[in-house]
Amino acid sequence: MSFDFGELLRKLRLYIVNFNIFPSIPPTEDQYELRSQRISTRLFIVLLVLSLTTLILYTSLINITQTVNVDSPTMAQYIQLYSTYPQTLSCDCRQISINYDTFVHLDYSLHQICSSVFTTQEWFDYMLRARPLGFLYNNDFRASGRNVFQTLRAFCDLTSQTIDNRLTQFYASQFVSSSVVSEELFELQIQAFISQFISSTTSDFLLSLSSIRQITQSNLLLPALQTNFMLYIYSSSYILPLSYKYGNCSCATTPKCKVEYSIMNGANTTILFIVPGMYFGCYAVESLLQSDLRCFYNRTCISEIQSYLNGSTPINFKALDPNVSVGFNVNSTLEDILDKLMVEQCYPSITYESYYNECAPSQCNYMYETKNSAIYIITTIIGLIGGLITILKLIFPSVVSLVRRRRQRQTREAASPEQENSQSNVQLLKECIERFNIFPSIPPTEDQYELRSQRISTRLFIVLLALSLTILILYTSLINITQTVNVDSPTMAQYLQLYSTYPQTLSCDCRQISINYDTFVHLNYSLHQICSSVFTTQKWFDYIHSARSTTTLYLNDFRIGSTYIFQALQAFCNLSDQTIQNRLSQFYSIQYVSAFVVSSQLFKLQI
């Protein structure tokens, strides 16, 4: 049997033409009614397809924000999540404050002089035993060189103790964060805190040292070796201090006068050897700070010094190694070395894993944009298609029937007057409304009582449906809802405008949550005018010292003590200025932390 494709197409076309999903019950043979039903069917199918297509396109193309929670993530999981979702990942810490000693350890090494033989008691005793008998000038290295090494030892101990004490405070400080900080930001913050710690420790130490140095000079303190002043005894009741001069420099006007340390031929002033880089002056500390250690990097230089000592048992020593020095060079002065707290190297160890384990986040959540899944689209379509079909089935047959009857009547009454046509249209609409029935019996009844009951049910249904829709529309249109609006990368002008309109709800996340104060704060100050006047300058000190009378003056004579008064004033000015500068440096390095933009008024109040 051959397959007749043409016959199949004919049957398919006939099926489509006669397709009817709104047949009357019982089926009618009236061609007018059948055509109305088929038109309703075609309109129903077209609108149903259009509605479903629109709904599918909308639900499949819109972007949605998906939130995912991860319970008790490991560090490896966190790092992986952060690499994928750095902007939205948030992990709340169980422990929001953690001591720094949990994840930071700071090792350091001092200048090698501090661990060398030259700052040991063995070397001090050797210098004392090996000193030649007889008279030696104070600036002879054999006479006072021991004091140099003892001062070096004191500086080593002071810096080490200062660092250890401050480290104890540093380790007890707490790192506060309510959520896990990324490894990169964590290391940046800790490095900044370490830098601030080193800076503040160094500044405080140098400020204390500067205070001691300036107070020592301004109060005219006399060392045991009387290296700055000589006490001239006029009588049993009158002693006058006379300042020493080193070259053209007077200890009365500055504590920094110095001469090179040397080894001389006893009471004779013949210089046998000059110790390179080492100086002797008004005060041991001042002259040492201007000295360097080049001689002690050179074994030949040290052997030369030993050759002028009388030690019967020379001490075994090892010269300083220039290859070991990293932060300093051979010619670095002691002041340069102390400016860095004598620290050769600093070895910070930051362990992010320890921080993460101590933070111990209970849950991480992150958000990402995606499309609706196929399952969601299918369930949405299934959920809406039933109501859509019901509404379309309810509307189209009646609408098509009404429109076709109206056109049919208009055609019949085309010749009638306009007033009659209008009355006819009204009559048609009235009849349609009166006969409208969405609850017909099957098979249709002719009983007027039953028909009236069905029409009453229809009217009640329509009234209640209209009331329900009206209430729903009024409710949804009158209730207040919270609308969230996103503004990407707003300018400051946009932010100020938004804040003036929405001060209570505006929220702007910061890309940089911690900002150094020096970025937006600058503090200027001015000291008393005496600090910038000529009266606190070296030129004035030299003038009043050189211009005073050469006759004998009492100690309470202004011409005697005025030099030290003005030096004390200079000391106070310098100390005040240095204190303010140190604190400002610390202040500027402090970080202002805020996850959100703070309003201008609140920002100024906080600062």
The stretch 390-402 carries a mean pLDDT of 71
Kindly report the pTM of this predicted structure: 0.69
State the Rg of the chain over Cα.
49
- Residue 132 has a pLDDT of 79
Q: What are phi and psi of 163, to 5 degrees?
A: -65, -45
- Cβ neighbors of 578 (< 8 A, separation 6 or more) are 207, 210
State pLDDT tens for residues 499-532: 999 888 888 888 777 788 888 999 999 999 999 9
The stretch 119-138 carries a mean pLDDT of 85
Distances (CA, A) of 522 to 203, 327, 517, 519, 587: 20, 32, 8, 8, 10
State pLDDT tens for residues 329-370: 999 999 999 999 999 999 999 999 999 999 999 999 988 888
The stretch 66-80 carries a mean pLDDT of 91
Distances (CA, A) of 496 to 487, 492, 499, 519: 13, 6, 5, 20
Q: Are 542 and 252 in contact (CB under 8 A)?
A: no
- Cβ neighbors of 243 (< 8 A, separation 6 or more) are 228, 229, 250, 251, 252, 545
Q: What are phi and psi of 539, to 5 degrees?
A: -60, -40
Q: Are 440 and 454 in contact (CB under 8 A)?
A: yes
- Residue 296 has a pLDDT of 94
Share of the chain above pLDDT 90, in %: 28
State pLDDT tens for residues 284-339: 999 999 999 999 999 999 989 888 887 656 677 789 999 988 889 999 999 999 99
DSSP-derived letter for residue 101 is G
- Residue 326 has a pLDDT of 83
The stretch 227-253 carries a mean pLDDT of 79
- Is the pLDDT confidence value at 415 over 60? no
Query: Which has the closest alpha carbon to 572: 512, 543, 544, 530?
Result: 530
Say how far apart CA 442 and CA 23 lie, in whole Å. Answer: 12
Say how far apart CA 97 and CA 93 lie, in whole Å. Answer: 9
Q: Tokens standing for 317?
A: 């020593």
State pLDDT tens for residues 26-42: 677 777 777 777 787 88
State pLDDT tens for residues 546-559: 766 555 666 667 77
- Cβ neighbors of 44 (< 8 A, separation 6 or more) are 21, 22, 392, 393, 396
- Is the pLDDT confidence value at 160 over 70? yes
Share of the chain above pLDDT 70, in %: 89
Q: Tokens standing for 509?
A: 């996340």
Q: Are 290 and 335 in contact (CB under 8 A)?
A: yes
pLDDT category of residue 148 using cuts at 50, 70 and 90: very high
Say how far apart CA 174 and CA 97 lie, in whole Å. Answer: 6
Q: Look up tokens 């606190």; give the residue.
A: 536
